[in-house]
Amino acid sequence: MERANSHAHTAAPLRLLPWPSPDGKPCYLVTDNNGGYLSRLADDLETTQLATGTDVLGRARQVLDDPMSPYAEIRYAGIRLAECLTDALRVAESRGMRMIGAMDKEEDEGAHGEARRNGGHEPRS
């Protein structure tokens, strides 16, 4: 009987990138290397998107707090807020996916470590 390899290669987790494809669909990066060029570019863009969202929120509040703000300014503020919220939700989803992936990886490594201590057998639930 063949024994399962405790070091079997698991698929690299997908990273949701902070930009959509040209047709508006989500873009994903498959990599084991969080320090790679695209990962760093995505990290930088996420930081920029969140900072932009903070700036737009501050400016939108000024427009919305002024009862004399013209309709066009209010509409523009709403459009920009929607864009920034879309970006922030994408960043949150991406980071959440990476956190879950990291927790799953830790659990897998813990189970494999336990299996090695138990003579190659996986722990029982």
pLDDT digits (tens, 9 = 90+) for 71-111: 999 999 999 999 999 999 999 999 998 888 778 777 777 76
Residues making up the chain, counted from first to last? 125
Residue 4, pLDDT score: 45
C-beta of residue 42 within 8 angstroms of C-beta of residue 52: no
- CA distances 18 to 38, 64, 87, 95, Å, are 11, 28, 7, 10
| Local structure of residue 115 (DSSP, 8 states) | H
Sequence-distant (6+) residues with CB within 8 A of 26 are: 16, 17, 20, 90
Portion of the chain with pLDDT greater than 70, in percent: 75
- What span, in angstroms and rounded, lies between the C-alpha atoms of 96 and 20? 18
C-beta of residue 114 within 8 angstroms of C-beta of residue 123: yes
Residue 7, pLDDT score: 45
Whole-angstrom distance between the N-terminal and C-terminal Cα of the chain? 23
C-beta of residue 88 within 8 angstroms of C-beta of residue 51: no
pTM above 0.75, yes or no: no
